[in-house]
Amino acid sequence: MLLQPILNIAEICARQGLRRVVLSPGSRVAHLAIAMVRHPQIETFTITDERSAAFVALGMANQLIQTAILHAESPTWVALACTSGTAVYNYAPAVAEAFYQQIPLLILTADRPPEWIDQQDGQAIHQRDIFGKHCKASFELPADYTHPDAVWHIQRLVNEAINLMKTAPYGPVHINVPIREPFYPEPTEEVSYDKKVKIIQIIDNQAIIPKPIWNELLADWEDADQKLIVLGQDYAQPELLKALQMLYQDFRVPIVGDVIANAHTLPELIRFHDIFLMSSDPAMKQKLQPDLLITCGKSLISKNLKIFLRNHKPRQHWHIQAAGTPADTFQTLTHHIRTEPTYFFGQLYADLDFQTMLERDEEGEENDYNQRWQSLNQKGAKLIYQFKPDDKSLIFNELHIVGELMQALPNDSILHLANSMSVRYANFFGLHQVTNIQVFANRGTSGIDGSTATAVGAAMLESDKIVSLLTGDLAFFYDRNGLWHNYLPANLRIILLNNQSGNIFRMIEGPSRQPELAEYFETYHSLNAQNTAQDFNLQYHIAENLAELSVCLRDFFAPATQAKILEIKTDKKVNAEVFNLLKTEAKKISE
């Protein structure tokens, strides 16, 4: 017999905007699965591997937020549900990623009743608070589903959990659901949902900076000669970019952003900082030191930028973040301004423009500080796009290949970047300002374990756009189960850089000097993706030289009836040598 309070969890989810649920099969989760599958307003997906299922859900949730921002509408949300035992632990990598990347996920885990834990009963482990500090909160439903107070308690807790997930900063929230047998309904049993189920709504408010504090900030702004804006990982936000563009036009404040900042449509964006900040010229970097640093968004890819700001600290560092505790990444934080970046920069521009409208022309006055950043940005662009090794045997290398790929990506598409070298190569090149491409990467924890499944989740919800994944071989083969289900979308394009090892370790000074490099750091393998493509019904293409790559790229991104994978085989030693040559040239950059 189905329990009505379990059915009503699905009703609460639907009424609260959770319209997609990723399920993994199991008996203990049967009540939840049936409740979700049979609800008319919920779309369900079944993915067997819980680790991949969680990353697929993460990719969906991320894409839903981005789509809502672009269409100026309220987002819908995603839930996960699995059976008890070690199945729950397999959610952990994606839960941690969602926590640090601030992606909303509702995690429903079926469980044994509490009296059976530690009694040698199958699939019974300690699930309460299983994700520890890597979720916003963990709720435990009562094992009694019959008493009226228990019914009220269940509905209240489910509402509290969903509302917490939807409250900024977003993140995963866990509900553990103890369920006793029997699990399955009788064949003739009808499933219905209580339309009078309890719903608790949250009404958000916009944080406005008090006038006295705002005046102090404006005074500090005027007092700073060298101002710098740095954008961390974030969604593409047209209104934010509009405010930043106006601020730059009138006040010429340099704006720095990694490729995952989704700010590449800003014409004057400093996007080649990862190249020119490799420079070994201390005088140049000293002149780039800001008096005032303003940041927003989450993590940075560029280690060179992080080291620069830690070594050349500003007098003041303002971080704009509406809720939650900001990270002090550069050890420089002086002000946490609790408001939305779009509001902050829009208000900043409006007030500064009013103060100076009689003193300046429509276009802002140029200044030496901005000119330095822009000049070095141009030198970085020239180096990365014109760099070619003299030795012709080195010409087919990952750096050059990624440069070609970044220019070949179709406009109005989505790019996912796997961690390790894939995301770093992409950040060296960035994207051209006229390309309307959304960029995602699992930089919350920067693990390689779920990048394929995350891209698949995004592609499942964005069927009208090409979704490309740039990945390395270890990340790809580690996450092959991200392709193991019945929803593989035809708009998915996987570009696999296969050097048959963890090539990044050959490029890092520490492991590259060790005699154990090949076996214990790079972990050589002889795998290719042809069998994987055949197993999961992907079109398979392979390139082992520039001519073959050129042929493959002619129609690789064109629409098709099935997903595609392009495997590009390179030599790890060539890749490392070319990368080191690039670093040598970058170190020579000076003002």
Q: Which residue has the tokens 């992409």?
A: 426
pLDDT in tens, 295-312: 999 999 999 999 999 999
Give the SS3 label for residue 172: strand
188: pLDDT strictly greater than 90: no
359: pLDDT strictly greater than 60: no
pLDDT for position 358? 45
C-alpha to C-alpha distance for 532 and 481, rounded to whole angstroms = 10
Q: Which is higher by pLDDT, 460 or 203?
A: 460
Q: How far is CA 318 from CA 16, 77, 236, 242, 578, in A?
A: 35, 31, 21, 20, 38
pLDDT for position 362? 52
Contact predicate 44/37, CB 8 Å: yes
Question: Can you tell me the mean pLDDT for 163-170?
Answer: 95
C-alpha to C-alpha distance for 127 and 366, rounded to whole angstroms = 59
Q: Which is higher by pLDDT, 82 or 147?
A: 82
Q: Among candidates 31, 50, 47, 27, which has minimal Cα distance to 39?
A: 31
pLDDT more than 90, % of the chain = 84
Q: What are phi and psi of 570, to 5 degrees?
A: -130, 170
> What residues contact residue 531 under an 8 Å CB cut-off, 6+ apart?
none
402: pLDDT strictly greater than 90: yes
Q: Among candidates 539, 466, 528, which has minimal Cα distance to 497?
A: 528
Contact predicate 49/55, CB 8 Å: no
354: pLDDT strictly greater than 90: no
C-alpha to C-alpha distance for 289 and 310, rounded to whole angstroms = 10
Q: Among candidates 134, 136, 152, which has minimal Cα distance to 144?
A: 152
122: pLDDT strictly greater than 80: no
C-alpha to C-alpha distance for 581 and 390, rounded to whole angstroms = 10
| Summary mean pLDDT of the chain | 93
pLDDT in tens, 505-540: 777 777 777 777 777 677 888 899 999 999 999 999
Helix (H) or strand (E) holding 471: strand 467-472
Contact predicate 558/248, CB 8 Å: no
1: pLDDT strictly greater than 60: no
Residue type, 477: F
384: pLDDT strictly greater than 90: yes
pLDDT in tens, 43-62: 999 999 999 999 999 999 99
> What residues contact residue 274 under an 8 Å CB cut-off, 6+ apart?
258, 301, 302, 304, 305, 380, 424, 427, 428
In the chain, what are the helix, strand and coil shares in percent, each to the nearest 5?
Answer: 45, 15, 40
Tokens of 205: 């408010």
pLDDT in tens, 234-260: 999 999 999 999 999 999 999 999 999
Highest mean pLDDT among 205-214, 347-356, 545-554: 545-554
What structural domains does the chain harbor? 4-178 (3.40.50.970), 211-371 (3.40.50.1220), 387-586 (3.40.50.970)
Q: Among candidates 444, 505, 496, which has minimal Cα distance to 475?
A: 496
* Measured CA angle at 491 (ends 485, 497), to 5 deg: 85
C-alpha to C-alpha distance for 46 and 28, rounded to whole angstroms = 15
Question: Can you tell me the mean pLDDT for 557-572?
Answer: 96
pLDDT for position 364? 60
502: pLDDT strictly greater than 90: no
pLDDT in tens, 57-84: 999 999 999 999 999 999 999 999 999 9
pLDDT for position 524? 82
> What residues contact residue 555 under an 8 Å CB cut-off, 6+ apart?
none
Tokens of 530: 């042809």
38: pLDDT strictly greater than 60: yes
